[in-house]
Amino acid sequence: MATHAAHAHAHAHTHTVKRYKGLMDWLTTVDHKKIGILYLLAGFIFFLVGGLEAILIRIQLMKPMNDFVAADTFNELLTMHGTTMIFLAAMPMLFALMNAVIPLQIGARDVAFPFLNALGFWTFFFGGLLLNISWFTGTVPDAGWTSYVPLAGPTYNGTHGVDYYVIGLQIAGIGTLLGGINFMATIINMRAPGMSFMRMPMFTWAIFITSVLIVFAFPVLTVGLVAIMFDRLFQANFFEVGGGGNGVLWEHIFWVFGHPEVYILILPAFGVISEVVATFARKRLFGYSSMVFAIVLIAFLGFMVWAHHMFTTGLGPVANALFSIATMLIAVPTGVKIFNWLFTLWGGSIKFTTANLFAVGFIPTFVLGGVTGVMLASAPADYQYHDSYFVVAHFHYVIVGGLILGIFAGLHYWWPKMFGRMLNEGLGKLTFWTFFTGFHLTFFVQHFLGLLGMPRRVWTYLPNQGFETMNLISSIGAFLMGIGTIVFVVNVIIAWAKPRNAAADAWEDGRTLEWSIPSPPPEYNFKQIPLVRGLDAWWKEKMDGKTAMTPAEPLGPIHMPSPSILPLIMSIGLFIAGFGFMYQNHWVAAGGILVTFVCMFLRSVYDDHGFHIDPEEEEVQA
Amino acid sequence: MSAHQHVEGHLPHEPEKATLEGRNKVLGFWIFLGAEVVLFGTLFSAFIALRHQVLDGPHPSHLFELPMVFAATMILLTSSLMSVFAVQAMHRNKMKALIGWLFVTIILGLAFLGLEIYEFNTYVSEGHKMNTSAFSSSFYTLVGFHGAHVAFGVLWISLLIAQLFKKGLTVVTAPKIYLSMIYWHFIDVVWVFIFTVVYLMGKVG
């Protein structure tokens, strides 16, 4: 690293790069911290949109034979709710935490590919925008988030609805894949000296494995979407039975992607919970190496279980039995994690901050979702549960009760690090109790609705089947979750108005490197790259009586990548091309693709020399 | 370790990995190729699942003209060998040889593309179109995806040749050359599988 500084001196005088301010700064930024905030903002807006769709669904189902929305609209709502929440809300909010935290936790100045990081954000954003523009053009995807054929094929879905789904998700998927590659490379190559793999914080481990899953799962979805797109736009026959196509092939392709996707969603939450529980129990994480092993094993098994979504498709008893057993196996490493969190809390001097409340609330909630998961894994029983509200209850317990509680825990925990301001604890606890209570009210009763025989994805139901009371309770719970979310927004707005005065080690018990630098960190994160001397690097230094990390390099000018508008324009090009393909206007499609290619050309031809920041000079100026 | 030690025309031993940026690129690109393996793996799976659904279209055993496809295979394999020579020239810091080998690589790539376009044209005229059957759809998608990769590679390497003329061989251009060469090998490996699974298996059954 010493040579790095020398290198910097050699070039420090040669390049001056234009720095932007205000809006242009946000449109051109390649700083992982700002990109994290962009992900959070966009992801949270989509979260509100998806939440609104959920509330409309629950209003429709509040009483029997309701006609609050039309049946067609209901199909559109449930499709867009699922698609938005998974691809445009949950994943971006995870990417927000990854971006905000990972480089700081591993003692790096940025990710491996800052430009690609910005490109990933903008492709996600414009993919999501394209998908949601369908509400304004009047043809909304309505074949469910799983988009099963032949329902999603051209024969039964002649309008442009599903086109928005396939093209929007392809564009957004580029961003996700880029993110996965970027974070894998970052974590392998950019760790501070001394941080071996088995000294990485648990959240970093979780994101590392999540990135592996993204890299190996998302291309499968891309191919599936391309195949549906070709069927719809070019009269191909992948899934058209009349042309020799095969509908079950789509189910396989979708779930070979779809099941790892579930772990892409939940593993980061596991990582967050591990950090929060250890920090606020003020104990080292119990069973660190078994936690690492469990996460790797869950990811591995996650690729082996896709057909448990297809037990009733008719794959035969042998396939069903094998996928049953493989699915049940996942309960073992997951159980390891649950017990490790409990043992971390055991005997600790626990602080029940909002973040920790969410984490502690996560544990039993996720166990409930896991137990119903094992129930569903039993193929014969699944014939009874299949396509009923029992399944809806199960996956909301793991996704909302797991992932969303995890994201809320992470947001409350890292908010001071991201923004330099503490969220109000009182309002935070109000968020927790309303959201948590609302969540269980909404979804606990849905287990029983499913067992009573209420099918999922139905527009309405008849009276006197024993569905009324539980549906009403479920809808009331949904409103309560909405209120919890609004309280969170209020909390954020109040925090915004307050001065930026969060301490570097905002919770005083921080264990990992991000708490050793100011909140929010300077543009270059670390004035000097720290030397890591053990697991929980910052905690170890504090226990040794130090007030700062030992630096691993001398002070010197720091090389930074230049901001660039190209990622935004490239994504706009894809966005335009998407509409061109959809409405079969080949000039528009070619024009959009051309914009993207010209940007790639410019990026390749003009070398980015970056610029240098001298931390000492900055301090003098300040 | 860093670039400035080598500014006087002395490139380090492996210039593509001389900087952290270069090492990041090489690692990131290998990960990207991992994703590409999954992409083509899925396309192959779809093809294998659907390849017997010929319907009224021409049967693969009549359709495929093995001699031409074999010629295309040899051309692409040779271009892959040329790209090995290119990387060797780069490691010896021989600019002219490097540019020469890159040039031969893309010429062979273009020849392959020409044969493929001719082949597709012939098939279409024989009634084997995108919408003929599930076999034809999955055939054109799989082989077409590969062809698009070749076309992109040709454009990419051409651009890199231009950059070599303009910027010379540096620790900035070397990783780009290196990546395009692993990309080219990857395309070649995919083609070996296409030749086996699509053409040879199509001929025998």
Domains contained in chain A, number: 2
Reduce the DSSP state of residue A560 to 3 states and report it.
Answer: strand
Contact B49 A235 (CB under 8 A): no
- The reply to whether A65 and A150 lie within a common domain is yes
Alpha carbon of residue A15 to chain centroid: 37
Smallest CA–CA separation between A216 and chain B, in Å?
6
Query: What is the DSSP secondary structure assignment for residue B17, as one 8-state letter?
Result: G
Same structural domain, A494 and A593: no
Model pLDDT, residue A587: 95
Q: Is A300 on the interface with B (CB under 8 A)?
A: no
Which CATH architecture is the domain B14-204 placed in? Up-down Bundle (1.20)
Q: Do B27 and A185 touch (CB under 8 A)?
A: yes
Burial B78-114 (b: 16+ CB within 10 A, else e): bbbebbebbbebbbebeeeebbbbbebbbebbbbbbe
- A71 and A6 within one domain: no
Q: Is B138 on the interface with A (CB under 8 A)?
A: yes
Could you tell me if A217 and A202 lie in one domain? yes
Given a cut of 70, the residues of chain A with pLDDT beneath it are: 1-17, 618-622
Q: Which pLDDT belongs to residue A19? A: 77
User: Which of A220, A245, A252 lies closest to B134 in CB terms?
Assistant: A245
Residue by residue, pLDDT tens for chain B (205 residues) are 344 444 445 788 888 888 999 999 999 999 999 999 999 999 999 999 999 999 999 999 999 999 999 999 999 999 999 999 999 999 999 999 999 999 999 999 999 999 999 999 999 999 999 999 999 999 999 999 999 999 999 999 999 999 999 999 999 999 999 999 999 999 999 999 999 999 999 998 7
Tokens of A478: 């949904």
In this structure, are residues B145 and B128 in contact, taking their beta carbons and an 8 Å threshold?
A: no
Q: What pLDDT is stored for residue A9 in this prediction? A: 44
Whose CA is closest to A207, among A220, A194, A188, A222? A188
CA dihedral A27→A32→A33→A38, nearest 10 degrees, is 40
Interval A373-429: pLDDT, tens: 999 999 999 999 999 999 999 999 999 999 999 999 999 999 999 999 999 999 999
The Cα diameter of chain A in Å comes to 81
Across the interface, whether the CB atoms of A113 and B34 are under 8 A apart is answered no
pLDDT at residue A16, rounded to an integer: 64
Gap from A1 CA to chain B (nearest CA, Å): 9
The two structure tokens encoding residue B155: 């454009």
Clarify whether residues A206 and A225 are in a common domain: yes
SS3 A423: coil
Quick one: pLDDT at residue A617? 73
Q: Least CA distance to B39: which residue of chain A?
A: A219
One domain for residues A540 and A572: no
* DSSP string covering A204-259: HHHHHHHHHHHHHHHHHHHHHHHHHHHHHHS---SS-GGGT--HHHHHHHHHHHHH
For chain B, the maximum distance between any two Cα atoms, rounded to a whole number of angstroms, is 67
Same domain (yes/no): A423, A544? yes
Instruction: Determine, for residues A219 and B135 on separate chains, whether the beta-carbon distance falls below 8 Å.
Output: no
CB A563 within 8 A of CB A20: yes
The residue out of A527, A548, A569 marking a domain boundary is: A548
Structure confidence at residue B6 (pLDDT): 45
Which residues 543-602 of A have a C-beta within 8 angstroms of B? 601
Contact B28 A224 (CB under 8 A): no
* A366 burial level (CB within 10 Å; 0-12, 13-18, 19+): buried
Locate A201 and state its tokens: 């914080």
A394 and A432 both lie in a single domain: yes
Name every chain B residue with its beta carbon within 8 A of the beta carbon of A219: 35-36, 38-39, 42
- Residues of A within 8 A of B186 (CB-CB) are none
**Domain end: A496, A520, A548, which one?**
A548
Q: Which of A548, A579, A601 is a domain's end point?
A: A548
Smallest CA–CA distance from B135 into chain A, residue: A244
CATH of the domain at A85: 1.20.210.10
Rounded Cα distance between A203 and A219, Å, is: 25
Instruction: Give the model confidence (pLDDT) of A200-242 as tens digits.
Output: 999 999 999 999 999 999 999 999 999 999 999 999 999 999 9
Question: Is residue A482 located within the same domain as residue A518?
Answer: yes
Tell whether A42 and A178 lie within a shared domain: yes
**CA dihedral sign, ordered A194, A199, A201, A205:** positive
Domain borders along chain B are 14-204
Q: Give me the domain span that covers residue A613.
A: 1-27+555-622
Query: Residue B30, class by beta-carbon neighbours within 10 Å (0-12 exposed, 13-18 middle, 19+ buried)?
Result: middle
